[in-house]
Amino acid sequence: MADLIVLLGPPGAGKGTQAKVLSRELNLAHISSGDLFRDHLSRKTELGVLAQGYMQRGELVPDNVTISMIRERMANTDCAKGAILDGFPRTVPQAEALDLFLADSKMGAVRKAPYIKVEAQVLVERLGGRWSCRAGGHVYHEKFNPPKAAGVCDVDGSALYQREDDKAETVANRIRVYFEQTTPLIEYYRRKGVLAEIDGAMPIEDVTRELLASVR
Ligand code: ADP
Ligand code: ADP
């Protein structure tokens, strides 16, 4: 059986930041749907071209496309032990498809779904100051978590950039989409008895501590 953890929370809650630490501490693969889409986009694959418009508008990429991309990624041998899912599922049909896939592939079921709670006003400030690394998906914040050298990733030395969809107008739409389409997942996982609520407004290290306690 694989160990599967789903990180829930709005855009900017800290899912990517925390997923990196959890995957290292628990020795599980880190699967970020956003990073997978951005990788397809940079390679101009058919999937990347299809996803581009949705991502630029801050809308969700259609479920069927997203689900098949994740199924393919989870079939990889590095997921046999388990994975931290960051950014997927984001709709109830995606969560149902994940459950089916986990059962069919004998991987088991989602063990824990920590929900990193952060209020909307804070999210805008977080995304507005986010700097991301192209190579490994590491994330920084110009005020809250600055890199040692401006514009350079501490971990792999690659250049940092500001995401096109982190502009204020797109952020507002992403937060709206989150409340409409992703919040029902909180109830979905609560009903399954695997939800853990974490206060995401605390400093990064404190959130990490609570997250680790919730999944250990
Ligand atoms: P998500 O993957 O949920 O969109 P990220 O991990 O990319 O979120 O974090 C969004 C931004 O907020 C990044 O710039 C990150 O450095 C910063 N950040 C993450 N967690 C915290 C925190 N607990 N306090 C302050 N800033 C944070
Ligand atoms: P954030 O850091 O704000 O949580 P992501 O990097 O996870 O954002 O996602 C960026 C964009 O990629 C989303 O706005 C959406 O267009 C697309 N995307 C990522 N994950 C999914 C998903 N599970 N379902 C549909 N679209 C997704």
Other Cβ atoms within 10 Å of 110 Cβ, number: 20
Mean confidence (pLDDT) of the chain: 96
Report how far ligand 1's centroid is from the alpha carbon of 73 (Å). 24
From the candidates 20, 38, 73, 130, which is the catalytic residue?
A: 130
The reported pLDDT for the residue numbered 84 is 98
- Binding pocket residue ranges, ligand 1, CB within 6 Å: 9, 11-17, 126, 129-130, 139-141, 144-145, 202-204, 207
- Average the pLDDT over 25-29 and give the result: 96
- State pLDDT tens for residues 124-138: 999 999 999 988 899
To the nearest 10 degrees (0 to 180), the angle between helices 63-74 and 92-104 is: 30
Pinpoint the alpha helices (H) of 79-167.
92-104, 120-128
Q: 90 an active-site residue? A: yes
Judged on CB neighbours under 10 Å (0-12, 13-18, 19+), 181 is middle
Q: 174 an active-site residue? A: yes
The reported pLDDT for the residue numbered 1 is 84
Q: 15 an active-site residue? A: yes
- State pLDDT tens for residues 32-70: 999 999 999 999 999 999 999 999 999 999 999 999 999
Report how far ligand 1's centroid is from the alpha carbon of 14 (Å). 4
The reported pLDDT for the residue numbered 39 is 95
Other Cβ atoms within 10 Å of 32 Cβ, number: 21
All structural domains of the chain: 3-118+180-215 (3.40.50.300)
Q: Which residue has the CA at smallest separation from atom 16 of ligand 2?
A: 55
Residue type for position 156:
D
Q: Given a cut of 90, is residue 189 above it in pLDDT? A: yes
Query: Which pTM was predicted?
Result: 0.97
Torsion of CA 177, 51, 76, 97, to 10 degrees: 50
- Average the pLDDT over 59-83 and give the result: 96
Pairing of strands 82-86, 139-141: unpaired
145 band by pLDDT with thresholds 50, 70 and 90: very high
